[in-house]
Amino acid sequence: MARVGSGQSGVQRVGAVVRALPVMKTQMAMVGAGHCKVAQMLAGRLPLPRDYTAAFGAVYERWDGKGVPGRLSGEEIPLAVRIAQIADDADVQLI
């Protein structure tokens, strides 16, 4: 974001940032979905239980359904992922 609209006036830079946000949201969703897919492919090559593979595909899902890849919400998200997300949030808050 620091380089978006560089060399332009303040108003023009704000406009450039506002126009860039939807594009960045889409790109971040694609990156997150790619991470999930690669994690599932790697898990498929290891001798892991199937529910682990499913969990790797849901690590960026959100309780409200606005996560990535965006197929799961609420209790559809594997329990292990929900616990890991809470632990991660707690870790971030305690630092």
In a domain, 10, yes or no: no
Count of the separate structural domains present in the chain: 1
Does this model's pTM top 0.85? My answer is no
Q: For every one of its 95 residues, what pLDDT tens digit does the chain have, with 9 covering 90 and above?
A: 666 767 777 788 888 777 777 766 666 666 667 777 888 888 889 888 888 888 888 888 989 998 888 788 999 999 999 999 999 888 888 76
Identity (one letter) of the amino acid at 18? V
Q: 61: domain range? A: 30-94
In a domain, 86, yes or no: yes
Q: What is the per-residue DSSP string for 21-83? A: HHHHHHHHHHHHHHHHHHHHHHHHHTT--HHHHHHHTTTT--TTS-SSS----GGGS-HHHHH
The secondary structure of residue 9, as a DSSP letter, is -
Residues 6+ apart with CB under 8 A from 8: 16
